[in-house]
Structure 1
Amino acid sequence: MSTSPRRTSRSTRTAFLALASSAALATAAFSAPAATGDTPDGSSNSEALRAAVTTEGVFEHLNALQAIADRNDGTRASGTPGYAASKDYVVSKLRAAGYKPTVQAFDFPFYRQLEPATFDVSAPSAASYVDGEDFALMTYSGSGSVTDGTVQPVDLNLGGTSTSGCETSDFNGFTSGNIALVRRGTCAFAVKVVNAQDAGASAVIVMNTNPGNPAFGGTLGSPVGTVPSLGTSYAIGESLAQGGTATIKARTESEIRETWNIHADSKTGDRETMVQTGAHLDSVVVGPGSNDNGSGSAALLEVAEQMATTKLTNRVRFSWWGAEELGLLGSEHYIDDLATNNPNLLEKIAIYLNFDMVGSPNYGLFVYDGDNSAFPVGPGAAKGPEGSAQIEKLFHDYFDSQGLNSAETAFSGRSDYGPFIAMDIPAGGLFTGAEGIKTESQAELFGGQAGVAYDECYHAECDDVTNNNPDAINFNSDAMAHAVLTYGQDLSSLSQPTTSTVRGDGTPSGGGLHEDHDHEQPSS
């Protein structure tokens, strides 16, 4: 990542932006009705906009994105024709609404698995393992076929700390052509795999770290794999720890391709203060990605269309990100590019609002835990920059004003707000759940079925337009409209004190990248 410019202290900067916003508010004209004080959250300000933002309007865009996937092998993943067509669709709709969208091209490491991989063991005992259950290819794994190859353990140190495969010296005495068995831990997966390749390994098995650890999928971070590489459970790795014989086959595609972000700025609003909001437009390769994240993209497009003629105090920038599914690459490119080439504009970003999966069929109304009250800072939660707690409060207050329950999701930074909070920009957003299981108390709060995933089609071929819950789309698109308009009018609430309070029964899975999925960050 590029070295970031020196930022004004968050407390000073937030106070300045709030003061500037309040001063501008005194003379600005709005197409939305003026505040009446009818509701404590000011939702009456957004009433006209919320009436204009409709579930039908969001589904019009969802159906269009589904049709694009249907014409392009069932996918809208970055680097495919389906994503290019999705980009063209969003741009055309923005232009028709009167915006002047910009398309930001960037290169990224494309990857897809072309068919299920094979991992069979013939010794010390015969077993056939299932791709996606017992093992998973590393993202950016190479292609290849090894039949009855000898499995050679590499410095496993079972029971102790693993540095297996992290040093080239670990492969001293390694027999070229064998399958390397290494253990997860200490260094990036790419380091282990490249060291094994350089030692002549025909394939690489990465076993999980400790007893009981399941199979997993990781990423090499870029197209460095030249041989098949996979992640599997501790138990399967342990069964091969004294050596064995295995057959591994993989067919993948991995190369540098071009993809795009899309940005559209409001016509009005102070050019020195920017409210930014975004959603990732890409799907995973295996499906159309209607809930993940056609839902956030379509709802954001509907909000943008209905706000096209709204007079604002602060500039609003709407963004659709590419290549999120391979590691937040579009939003990272955007922030890195600003830090390097336009640090003044980076400094003007007052807040960022992120919308990733807002239509889950067995939904919860989850708000990013910006005050870290439900999910304290730790391995699964990043610290919310100053102002993030106030954004969280705005969403909860809005849902309260509508008689809707809401709860919290971990402020993990593992969706496209991650690069923003790394720059100390306050952030917030909405999420309706992914592969996590709805609890009994969540079913009481939101309805739906306890003991079932929020989205059983998460990252699957069945994530089509029918995988979106109209109520979730309705509630969240209105909440999005309320938040974007509120901050487009006035940022003063960012400096108001808040009390940290845990709301409802939340979910630790905050959307975006998940540690147990194949777009995991490239660390071991």
Structure 2
Amino acid sequence: MRSSLNHPPLLRRLTIAGGLAAALAFGTVSAAVGGVQAQGASGASGASSADVSADAPAAKNASLTGYDREIVDQFDSANSVSHIRHLAVDIGPRLNGTPQEREGAEYIGGLLKSYGFEVTYQQWGPVSTKQVAKVTSPNADLPGGPNWQMYASASGKFTGDAGVEGRVVYAGTGQSAADFPADTAGKIVLMDYNSTASIRNTAVANAADRGASAVILAYPTGNSAPPSFTLTTSQPGIPVIGGGSAHYTWIRGLLDKGPLTLRIATNQYANPMGTNVIGIRHAVGDPTGTTAPIVMVGAHIDSVLGAPGAHDDASGNGVSLEVARVLSQYPLDKELRIGGFGGEEGGLLGARAYVNTLTAAEKARFVGEWQMDMVGTPYEPARLWALTPNGKSNFVVQEAYDAAARAGFDGLRNCRLGQSDHQAFYDVGIPSSLFIWLDYRPPAPPAVCGPTGGTYVTEPEYHKPTDTMDNISPERLQITLDVVGGAVAHNALNAVTVSATSDADQPVAGAPVRADCGSGPRDLGTTGADGRLQAVLPHATCDFTTTVEGRTATERGVSIAGDRAVKMTVDFTKPTISLTTPADGAVFTLGTAATASYRCDDNLSGVATCTGTVPDGSPLDTSAVGFHEFTVKAADNAGNVADRKATYQVVYPWQAYFPETMDGKAGSAVPIKFGLGGDRGTDVIASGYPVSRPVTCDTGKATGPAEPTSGPGNSKLGYDDGQYNYVWKTDRGWGGSCRQFELKLDDGSSHLTTIRLK
């Protein structure tokens, strides 16, 4: 990310930039199903699944997830880390205009070519002269290395790539002979950098007088980048370079462990050219790249002097390359562009040079540009932000929010900031946003981001030699892939609106939609209250199905070649069932002959199969007492089904040998005799019964809870001479009251009598 000017190095206010950030629509589908912008689909995703490519065969009877979920599941931050390591470690610092910036562009371009992209390298400039020293070691593993970069002073010698090599000695401030070891001749001398020119001049002159082969002036304290400086007395015979405080600490630490040899190559690149790399994957139906909507991802290649730029901004390239890898597996009707821009740190130079090559027609085709800059630091206060030059949300920001929601991430926030390559796209009217992990402080209410912006604090490694792989969080890179990569993928695919309507042309909500585009069936989600589902699909021919209440509607061979709509009509007219016998709640005496009576009708086709617990006209089952469920199911030729249920009861042939009310004496036994049409055994009484409860004598209303009748004097149920007999022993204390006796049988029937007790 480019530094903000005229502010302290750690706390900087945001810059303000004007311009237009409007989301562009590229066509709509028919009014019958509602307009869907090419870049505005919001598809539903299914549950997580293993990585599955678009052309992989589906497992038998398995269902794939929607393309949104499938693509995000394939993003792997480990691949991003590998790319970051190559850029920041194998290549090292990539100062604008240096061969390392070009090497970074070629690495990115080579990968994009392997993914099937058409790659172009853009040279632009010239830019300001660069004076750099490349520092390596033949005998030590350099921390943050192996390629250090320092400032090469024009007051010293430019060695070219041949460089000089020698053991390193430390000479403190270098102000007196006592600071220098006796064997300084032929050695590379490390000394403390001093901001006072005369002190620096003396130190270097003393080192040269003692035969030093090279001089490194490095900050001994603080957290500083390599200094740029000149000497009042030139030293044309030896390279003189400036190192950051990390270089100083690392060299001193290595010297403490033993002899250290460094190799220093100094070069001056006079008015060099900067480099961009642009990868284009043309749309299936637009191989020449003239009409298809454009979805672009960007990051910057260059880093500042001395910084390996792992986070700023090899991380952005690591993410964009992983997005390119995964999306390259899918045939797309949108044009996908991956941009690696040079010179961002010098003032967005590469990005501005690129957008200046775009024609008006080309700019109008842009769906949006997602710019990633510093997208994975472990610095704890940092959070993921979507920042725009005017502080307002736009299409690109909103799509990132939608992708975050699909991924289950609620940590994305948006506010205002320029200072990165998204500004160049914003200035020419292309919707864009900067995505960055940053300790950003939005304005306090009632201020809002648009007019006022906020402030931010950078991570300690920002623009320092310590911006190494230690400044990379794979976990946060993965979040960025899920959110930004998910948004890019969603917009690179085709927006498809699926409508489910009934045969009465009413919207069908909650209809599960599947599509098989040649790789197996996949769940796209369910329709909303309006009967519609918005999904995203690649260029393909697909079969769409939905099954609602057993009725399956299918649209086969639908060509998905751009944004479109699919309509499925579901026949919901169910057959009707007339159930006469048994009626719900009917009661039959045990063994009674009863015949089932029912019929089924389909109001549309007139034909419906009808299946009951027993066939129509057949005897009902009355062979066992209790409650029985009778079910009739109907199905028509269209696949619609209906069912109807009735519950009937089978009871014993009951005969009571006791009146509904009778008189008795408290404390005496009352015989309860009844018949059930024969000997049914002694387990005919329901569990927990008989019971008695106090009631009013005049109304029979209960005045207390029921109590079990079991106890001394109460006999067990007996059967003799065609009758059942149960002896109820009343309580002496019930005199002058009435009690209700309840006998419940295992057939579900209940029988009552009330006794007035004297």
Q: TM (normalized to structure 1)? A: 0.54
Alignment partner for residue 93 of structure 2, among 67, 71, 75? Answer: 75
Q: State how far apart, in whole Å, the 2-side matches of 1:53 and 1:135 are.
A: 35
Alignment partner for residue 363 of structure 2, among 306, 322, 346? Answer: 346
Is residue 88 of structure 2 the alignment partner of residue 66 of structure 1? Answer: yes
> Relative contact order (alpha carbons < 8 A, sep ≥ 6): 1 or 2 greater?
1
Alignment partner for residue 471 of structure 1, among 449, 468, 475? Answer: 475
AA of the residue aligned to 1:114 = A
**Which residue is 2:232 aligned to?**
145
AA of the residue aligned to 2:400 = F
Alignment partner for residue 300 of structure 1, among 320, 337, 353? Answer: 320
AA of the residue aligned to 2:350 = G
Which one has a bigger Cα radius of gyration? 2
Offset at residue 407 of structure 1 (A): 4.1
Which aligned pairs between 1:410-429 and structure 2 lie closer than 5 A?
410-429=415-434
Unaligned runs of 5+ in 2: 1-18, 37-41, 48-64, 132-150, 154-191, 199-217, 235-265, 443-455, 498-758
Offset at residue 97 of structure 1 (A): 1.5
Q: State how far apart, in whole Å, the 1-side matches of 2:491 and 2:31 are.
A: 11
Considering fraction of residues, name the structure with more helix.
1
AA of the residue aligned to 2:232 = S
Offset at residue 333 of structure 1 (A): 0.7
**Which residue is 2:11 aligned to?**
none
Offset at residue 305 of structure 1 (A): 1.3
**Which residue is 1:457 aligned to?**
461
Cα gap change, 1:275/1:384 in structure 2, threshold over 3 Å: closer, same or farther? Answer: farther
Alignment partner for residue 52 of structure 1, among 54, 68, 74? Answer: 74
Match of 1:79, SS?
Answer: coil
Offset at residue 346 of structure 1 (A): 2.8
Q: Deviations over 1:396-427 (max 9, x none)?
A: 33333433332435432210001111112111
AA of the residue aligned to 1:279 = A
Q: Deviations over 1:15-40 (max 9, x none)?
A: 642538999x999xxxxxx944659x
* 8 Å Cα contact 1:360/1:467 also seen in 2: yes
Which aligned pairs between 1:312-461 and structure 2 lie closer than 5 A?
312-338=332-358, 342-363=359-380, 364-370=382-388, 382-383=389-390, 388-433=393-438, 455-461=459-465
Q: State how far apart, in whole Å, the 1-side matches of 2:313 and 2:27 are.
A: 32
* 8 Å Cα contact 2:391/2:414 also seen in 1: no
Q: For this pair of structures, how many residues does the alignment match?
A: 334
Match of 2:428, SS?
Answer: coil
Q: State how far apart, in whole Å, the 1-side matches of 2:418 and 2:337 are.
A: 20
Offset at residue 254 of structure 1 (A): 7.1
* 8 Å Cα contact 1:367/1:392 also seen in 2: no
Cα gap change, 1:407/1:37 in structure 2, threshold over 3 Å: closer, same or farther? Answer: closer
* 8 Å Cα contact 1:361/1:455 also seen in 2: no
**Which residue is 2:128 aligned to?**
109
**Which residue is 2:115 aligned to?**
97
Offset at residue 10 of structure 1 (A): 7.2
**Which residue is 1:17 aligned to?**
26
Offset at residue 321 of structure 1 (A): 0.5
* 8 Å Cα contact 1:277/1:319 also seen in 2: yes
Is residue 273 of structure 2 the alignment partner of residue 255 of structure 1? Answer: no
Alignment partner for residue 289 of structure 1, among 309, 312, 330? Answer: 309
Match of 1:346, SS?
Answer: helix
Match of 1:63, SS?
Answer: helix
Q: Deviations over 1:276-316 (max 9, x none)?
A: 22000112121211111111101101110111131223212
* 8 Å Cα contact 2:461/2:471 also seen in 1: yes
Considering fraction of residues, name the structure with more strand.
2
* 8 Å Cα contact 1:104/1:262 also seen in 2: yes
> Once structures 1 and 2 are overlaid, which stretch shifts more, 358-367 or 398-407?
398-407
AA of the residue aligned to 1:331 = A
Q: State how far apart, in whole Å, the 1-side matches of 2:124 and 2:115 are.
A: 26
Cα gap change, 1:145/1:334 in structure 2, threshold over 3 Å: closer, same or farther? Answer: same
* 8 Å Cα contact 1:266/1:316 also seen in 2: yes
Offset at residue 428 of structure 1 (A): 2.0
AA of the residue aligned to 1:77 = L
After superposition, the CA RMSD in angstroms is 4.5
Match of 1:433, SS?
Answer: strand
Cα gap change, 1:66/1:469 in structure 2, threshold over 3 Å: closer, same or farther? Answer: same
Q: State how far apart, in whole Å, the 2-side matches of 1:351 and 1:22 are.
A: 25
Cα gap change, 1:417/1:81 in structure 2, threshold over 3 Å: closer, same or farther? Answer: same
State the percentage of identical aligned residues: 21
Cα gap change, 1:303/1:135 in structure 2, threshold over 3 Å: closer, same or farther? Answer: closer
Q: State how far apart, in whole Å, the 1-side matches of 2:403 and 2:129 are.
A: 39
Which aligned pairs between 1:180-329 and structure 2 lie closer than 5 A?
255-268=270-283, 271-329=291-349
Q: State how far apart, in whole Å, the 2-side matches of 1:96 and 1:22 are.
A: 42
Q: State how far apart, in whole Å, the 1-side matches of 2:344 and 2:426 are.
A: 16
Cα gap change, 1:489/1:401 in structure 2, threshold over 3 Å: closer, same or farther? Answer: closer
Cα gap change, 1:256/1:425 in structure 2, threshold over 3 Å: closer, same or farther? Answer: same
* 8 Å Cα contact 1:61/1:298 also seen in 2: yes
* 8 Å Cα contact 1:303/1:480 also seen in 2: no
Q: State how far apart, in whole Å, the 1-side matches of 2:29 and 2:293 are.
A: 9
Q: Deviations over 1:209-241 (max 9, x none)?
A: xxxxxxxxxxxxxxxxxxxxxxxxxxxxxxxxx
Match of 1:261, SS?
Answer: strand
Q: Deviations over 1:418-449 (max 9, x none)?
A: 11111121112421127x799xxxxxxxxxxx
Match of 2:128, SS?
Answer: strand
Cα gap change, 1:54/1:15 in structure 2, threshold over 3 Å: closer, same or farther? Answer: closer
* 8 Å Cα contact 1:275/1:351 also seen in 2: yes
Alignment partner for residue 120 of structure 1, among 183, 196, 207? Answer: 196
Q: State how far apart, in whole Å, the 1-side matches of 2:494 and 2:109 are.
A: 28
